[in-house]
Structure 1
Amino acid sequence: MLLPNWPMQHVVGGLSTTRAYGCSNGPFTGLNLAYHVGDSAVDVDANHHQLLNYLPCPAHWLTQVHGAEVVEVNCEQPMYPWPKADALYTRLRQQPLAIMTADCLPILVCDQQGLEVAAIHAGWKPLVKGIIGNTLGIFQSSPKQLVAWLGPAIGAQQFEVGGEVKSQFCDFHKAHTNDFIEQGNGKYLGDIYAIARRQLNLLGVGQVFGGEYCTVSQRELFFSYRRDGQTGRMASLIWRN
């Protein structure tokens, strides 16, 4: 497990899984937590059981659709079926929120008192659709009182995209032009960490941590869809203490 390297580790609970250990085999070898990728459901169940040893109680999960919807988890929110959305928010105590990734960016957010928490699936499509702003809009605390951690995602030297992706981000905010480097093949290298950090800063969140991993190049630690195609998924989770 990876623990967020932020000043909130004694205020809220949080972690990101790696592919290490676990019960899955083949292209999913390790701690695959996704049922939808073709892995054995028995193995995925065992992996979820292993993860539960690190959590105060079972987590809320999503069916992620690369959109910008946010689900608020309260006492009335059922765990099943998993809702279709790309971010979770709660004020409930000891209730983990989970999102799955295998190159997309997981973002964990909380206020400085640890009273509100959120987990965001920040792939490029959710980012360009405004998933961060939609999530922060649910917080009662002002953005200046929030702290964010950027979990393991595809690194800036691996995230090659076409001009249409860059254009969408530049349409979203012109400052994103600085987050792409043109390559000789007509493609661009995009920095998804810089994109998310910029959006958080523009929304008023000044304390942003993390962003030092690369799921593609760190093969022993992480699943990577871009690198392997058929592969497993890691999870990033946050909860109030």
Structure 2
Amino acid sequence: MITKSPDNVVFIKWPTANVLAITTTRLPANNPSTSSNVESSQTNITHTKNKPSEFNAFNLGDHVGDCATAVAQNRKSLHKYLPSKTKIQWLDQVHGNNVAVLEKHNNTPIVADAAITRNRHIALAIMTADCLPILLSNKKGSEIAAIHAGWRPLAANIIEQTISTMLSPPEEIIVWLGPCIGVKAFEVGEDVKQEFCKISPKFIAAFQPITQLSDDIKPLKYLANLPLIAELQLFALGVKSVAKLAECTFEQSDKYYSYRRDGKTGRMASVICLN
């Protein structure tokens, strides 16, 4: 799986032409196209200079304190990248493990952290600003899913919940892991590590100790690897095809929003639909 990355939107070259997938950055998307091979020119962002810097420029989150009109305009702009009859299904993400199976579009966001659809006119969107966005489809391109994979949903087995709810067998599922807070920046405590180690000792590999007081005292802090946690869960379930865009939202402040870095900030979106 190959990704083309203009300044404003990453177009994901999915293995089947029946699926269209994109992920946004914090820069505005001014050159819409439904082609997965598009390359955009340098985007002019001067029209956003009066927006608060924490949201500048392409914020898609309507719950973070940004101007509602600006968010609505950004979401409208995002639709231009999708097939004409497709509507984006937004979620009210609560860091849980609820999986919504969608047969029709809902104007109101659905309370869930993952969604599945086989409806060709519904695009599934996951908003992030450090958490890991996961996009999935079957090889035929007849079923898609999207997951908001922060550490809490991952610890609550949201990946297993999603894949077990899909009609496609794991070996027929294609997975893409998007940009998230990287292993050099995601500092967590012993409690987070233990949440995963209670599931399986294999997750120890995803936690690098960064504070060691003595040989008799356990490390107080760890650097956690969200993509590795997701990969371990996916492979254990029988998924064989996993690709990722390994970029750190925390470190790349010019390109991505990061809640851990900035606190008050906007949201990117990773979107998948049937083409």
Q: Distance in 1 between matches of 2:271 and 2:235?
A: 22
Query: Structure 2, unaligned stretches of length 5 or more?
Result: 1-8, 30-47, 213-219
| Contact persistence 1:5–1:209 (CA under 8 A) | no
Q: What's 1:139 paired with?
A: 166
Deviations 1:8-39 (A, max 9, x none): 4x331000010002655321011100111000
Q: Distance in 2 between matches of 1:130 and 1:155?
A: 21
Q: Distance in 2 between matches of 1:82 and 1:6?
A: 26
Q: What's 1:7 paired with?
A: 15
Amino acid at match of 1:188: Y
Q: Distance in 1 between matches of 2:245 and 2:158?
A: 18
SS in 2 for 1:133: helix
Q: Distance in 1 between matches of 2:224 and 2:14?
A: 24
Q: Distance in 2 between matches of 1:190 and 1:211?
A: 17
| Contact persistence 1:6–1:209 (CA under 8 A) | no
Please state how far the C-alpha of 1:49 moved relative to its aligned partner.
1.2
Equivalent residue for 1:171, pick from 191, 198, 202: 198
Please state how far the C-alpha of 1:58 moved relative to its aligned partner.
2.1
Deviations 1:137-159 (A, max 9, x none): 11111101101000111111111
Q: What's 1:100 paired with?
A: 127
The answer to whether 1:72 aligns with 2:107 is: no
Query: Structure 1, unaligned stretches of length 5 or more?
Result: none
Amino acid at match of 2:207: F
| Contact persistence 2:126–2:270 (CA under 8 A) | yes
Q: Distance in 2 between matches of 1:157 and 1:7?
A: 30
Q: Distance in 1 between matches of 2:27 and 2:260?
A: 19
| Contact persistence 2:60–2:268 (CA under 8 A) | yes
Q: What's 1:228 paired with?
A: 262
The structure whose Rg is larger is 2
Q: Distance in 2 between matches of 1:141 and 1:80?
A: 27
Q: 1:5 to 1:199 in 2, by over 3 A?
A: farther
SS in 1 for 2:108: coil
TM-score (norm 2): 0.84
Q: Distance in 1 between matches of 2:227 and 2:270?
A: 16
Q: What's 2:248 paired with?
A: 214
| Contact persistence 1:6–1:210 (CA under 8 A) | no
Please state how far the C-alpha of 1:7 moved relative to its aligned partner.
2.8
The answer to whether 1:41 aligns with 2:80 is: no
Please state how far the C-alpha of 1:211 moved relative to its aligned partner.
4.0
Deviations 1:164-214 (A, max 9, x none): 000001112220011111012620001001000110000110110004110
The answer to whether 1:19 aligns with 2:26 is: yes
SS in 2 for 1:96: strand
Q: What's 2:217 paired with?
A: none
Q: Name the Cα RMSD after superposition.
A: 1.3
Identical counterparts, % of pairs: 44
Q: Distance in 2 between matches of 1:104 and 1:63?
A: 14
| Contact persistence 2:64–2:266 (CA under 8 A) | yes
Q: Distance in 1 between matches of 2:117 and 2:205?
A: 33
Amino acid at match of 1:240: L
| Contact persistence 2:55–2:266 (CA under 8 A) | yes
Q: 1 or 2 for the larger relative contact order (CA 8 Å, sep ≥6)?
A: 1
The answer to whether 1:161 aligns with 2:161 is: no
Q: Distance in 1 between matches of 2:100 and 2:139?
A: 21
The answer to whether 1:86 aligns with 2:113 is: yes
The answer to whether 1:109 aligns with 2:136 is: yes
| Contact persistence 2:18–2:142 (CA under 8 A) | no
| Contact persistence 2:125–2:271 (CA under 8 A) | yes
Deviations 1:211-230 (A, max 9, x none): 41100001111000001000
Q: Distance in 2 between matches of 1:58 and 1:113?
A: 21
